[in-house]
Amino acid sequence: GGSKGIPLKNIKLLAGVPLIGWVLRAAGDAGVFHSIWVSTDHDEIEKVAKQFGAQVHRRSPEVSQDSSTSLEAIREFLNHHHEVDIVGNIQATSPCLHPSDLIKVADLIQKEGFDSVFSVVRRHQFRWSEVKKGENKMTEPQNLNPAKRYRRQDWPGELYENGSFYFAKRHLIEKGYLQGGKMAYYEMRAEHSVDIDIDIDWPIAEQRVLSFGYFGKEPLKEVKLLVCSIDGCLTNGRIYVTEDQKEMVSYDYRDIVGIDLLKKRGIQVRLISERDCSKTLSAMQLGCVAKVSATNKLQVLEDWQKDMGLSWKEVAYLGNEESDVECLKQAGMSGVPADACAVAQKAAGYICKSSGGCGAVREFAEHIFLLLEKVNSARKQ
């Protein structure tokens, strides 16, 4: 919890998902672990970890210092869990990790007898010796001959640790090692090798994750329908009442633009509300099918999905209240505004930076467009 560079970095939203959520999703879907744990000293990190299905080991103050290492935290964990024989230490800062990588690594240890396996990435970079200020000497090439430089396609490159994960058997860790014994490396694809701690900033990381991240077991499909809750998503949830008992609400024009952009991409937009706000909708002139006074939102959503002949993967849902939770769980793509209630945030796949009535619909629309680019890219491949 004490990250100096980015406060509470491990639960900061990356492409709408807490950073730690990306690796926890991959670890869970890999199906190779008997248990999945997050070691932390912070209440909020514990809360997010449990939302993604992990158990939590509360670190002691002794291994929660700036100088504390992962190895110290793992050894403390093992002191409380004598049933554990193998540890896969996965770094939260590697959000493009995929279950397929973890499955292959588990096989290397469990079936091929390696004591430790760690992740690497192949890089094609020429290295030169450092010359410090004041030293009267020339730099020297480290891995090339300047008179005969390799073309990239003629040089296999070099392997570098990328810090994504370190697997090791218990007996090694107890001796103070994460790498040792019969060792093996696992080469990750370059596009999956994202380390936020070292060489990437947040906006670039978001683009990488949207392009190469792991989004779940089911393949993404093209969204055909977005259903948006009116109160708290399209509006900020506030109702203003005039002296003559007329209701007024406010909305953000950016959200109207977002709805128009979705329509232009061939995505239908439908609205839903638990209260009767038909007059408000008429005044807004959005041209969207709407269902008001909806006592059962999930039933409405199911009826629309079936009438349109869509699979759930082709339906997106933006909600913010407890009454939206089941819809968020069913939809193939789900989102909530930044100020949505806790249970809705837990059920959603994407948490907007914008609050309801303040651009959340536009933001979620842009998120949909980015994921559709991923779908189209996969089709081309």
Residue 295: exposed, middle, or buried by beta-carbon count in 10 A (0-12, 13-18, 19+)?
exposed
pLDDT digit string (tens) for 290-307?
A: 999 999 999 999 999 999
Fold topology of 9-129+158-212: Spore Coat Polysaccharide Biosynthesis Protein SpsA; Chain A (3.90.550)
At which residue do the structure tokens 């093996």 appear? 184
> Residue 378: enclosing H or E segment and its boundaries?
helix 360-380
Domain extents in the chain: 9-129+158-212, 225-379
Enumerate the active-site residues: 149
Fold topology of 225-379: Rossmann fold (3.40.50)
> Residue 294: enclosing H or E segment and its boundaries?
none
pLDDT digit string (tens) for 57-70?
A: 999 888 888 778 88
pLDDT digit string (tens) for 249-288?
A: 778 889 999 999 999 989 999 999 988 887 777 767 788 9
At which residue do the structure tokens 């290492």 appear? 69
Q: Residue 222 to residues 24, 152, 209, 279, 304: CA-CA distances in angstroms? A: 25, 36, 18, 33, 17
Mean pLDDT value of segment 35-46: 94
pTM for this structure? 0.73
Determine the Cα angle at 345 with ends 221 and 8, to 5°: 110
